Amino acid sequence: MQAVSPRQGACKRILAVVGTRPEAIKMAPVIRALQSAPWADVRVLATAQHRQMLDQVLDAFGIVPDIDLDIMAPNQTLPELTSRLLSKLDEVFARERPDAVLIQGDTTTVMTAAMAAFYRRIDVGHVEAGLRTGDLHNPFPEEMNRIVAGRLSRWHFAPTEGARDNLLREGFDPASVHVTGNTVIDALLDVVQRDTPLPVEVPEGRRMVLVTAHRRENFGAPFREVCLAIRDLADRHDDVHFVYPVHPNPNVSGPAREILGGHDRITLCPPMDYLPFVAAMKRAHLILTDSGGVQEEAPALGKPVLVMRRETERPEAVEAGVVKLVGPVRDAIVAEVSWLLDEPGAYAGMAKGVSPYGDGHASGRIADILGRDLIG
Ligand code: UD1
Ligand code: UDP
């Protein structure tokens, strides 16, 4: 990491905002890098758009928020979440007057924090900038969230060259766009060597398929298709065990328990802490998901990923042949998972250990760029 020399009395106040599980995982190494930067006074604002899942991650990384808005309500709608976040964030920004606000990703927390900072004329740094599908409704509402957040940001920390290209195509000043790698790889490499037991039993000798799902655009019929596909697969492959930490959103947990509960080759469990989840990814034969972060982590662990979405803003791993889009479509999921389970050659072709999303040093680069621009 390049050293930034502090000037006497020139400490800059950085407010790092986190709302949900993936934001906290990906912001944790940035917070750590800023804590060791002599020029930075970093404070952590948890909106708690997620409550339990955010706390799980903050505990895992030893982060104690300085401010906690405790915003989450059961089954929150996007308009009510947006309006509550915007007014609460404005109160905090007015009081704290940070020199810069840092946001990560594309959640409602991210979009509202960028807006609230803009109204208070506070500079924003966007971590994981420039991801795009080009379809405003997929993923919903994340594509809109990241477009708005990007528009309002001074610093764009793009994880890949492709993300940088997306921003340049939209007309951003090249000097404001920095390719850093994705901080999720920093977080993953920090914990991957630790020996953490699996929090669930997987019968000896069975291959394990790890499942996660939560996307809003899949709620309803597509998500039922996903669950029916998993049940078909568990019925068909008696040497395979499915482990599915279920997202607590009632639109997910309801159908998941109704369709998958009680099957002896499917284990449904609550969201796992980050370290056990990394252990589960390591133990998995393959991963079936609609998660963004898992599409980045699993390739680094050499695990094939089938993505139950129609589009992805993370094309690099697809192009490398280690991630495949199967859509939230019952027959396609059953066919593609069965193909990987039954054909060793197909499996080996996807289990290549390619990691297009970073080298584990993204957070240091971000801290250095902020230091250079804020202190000189
Ligand atoms: C949110 C983000 C999504 C991100 C995902 C990561 C938005 C609009 N969506 O989706 O981009 O990929 O987080 O997981 O910002 N709940 C709990 N406990 C928790 C978390 C959630 O009970 O710790 C339940 C609550 O009923 C809550 C609901 O899940 O109202 C939905 O949470 P919300 O943050 O609105 O949406 P997610 O689907 O989690
Ligand atoms: N994850 C976790 N426990 C789980 C499931 C996922 O810690 O039970 C981690 C996973 O390793 C990844 C992140 O959560 O880093 C992804 O979060 P999610 O899928 O909720 O959000 P997305 O990445 O799709 O925005």
CATH code of the domain made up of 12-182+358-375: 3.40.50.2000
Q: Is there a catalytic annotation at residue 91? A: no
Distance CA(234)–CA(241), nearest Å, equals: 7
Model confidence at 69: pLDDT above 80: yes
Q: What is the pLDDT of residue 10?
A: 65
Average pLDDT, the chain: 96
- C-alpha 214 – ligand 2 centre gap (Å): 10
- C-alpha 249 – ligand 1 centre gap (Å): 6
pLDDT one-digit tens code per residue, 308-339: 999 999 999 999 999 999 999 999 999 999 99
Model confidence at 2: pLDDT above 80: no
DSSP string, 20-80: SHHHHHHHHHHHHHHHT-TTEEEEEEE--SSSHHHHHHHHHTT---SEE-----TT--HHH
Question: Ligand nearest 22 Cα, by number?
Answer: 2
Which CATH architecture is the domain 207-350 placed in?
3-Layer(aba) Sandwich (3.40)
Is pTM beyond 0.95? Reply is yes
pLDDT one-digit tens code per residue, 340-374: 999 999 999 999 989 999 999 999 999 999 999 99
Q: Ligand 2: residues whose CB is within 6 Å? A: 21-22, 25, 184, 212, 214, 245, 271-272, 274, 277, 291-294, 297
Distance CA(312)–CA(306), nearest Å, equals: 11
Q: Is there a catalytic annotation at residue 156? A: no
Average pLDDT over residues 64-73: 98
Distance CA(157)–CA(166), nearest Å, equals: 12
- C-alpha 247 – ligand 2 centre gap (Å): 9
Return the percentage of the chain with pLDDT > 70, whole number.
Answer: 97
CATH 3.40.50.2000 domain residues, the chain: 12-182+358-375, 207-350
Q: Is there a catalytic annotation at residue 216? A: yes
Q: What is the pLDDT of residue 376?
A: 82
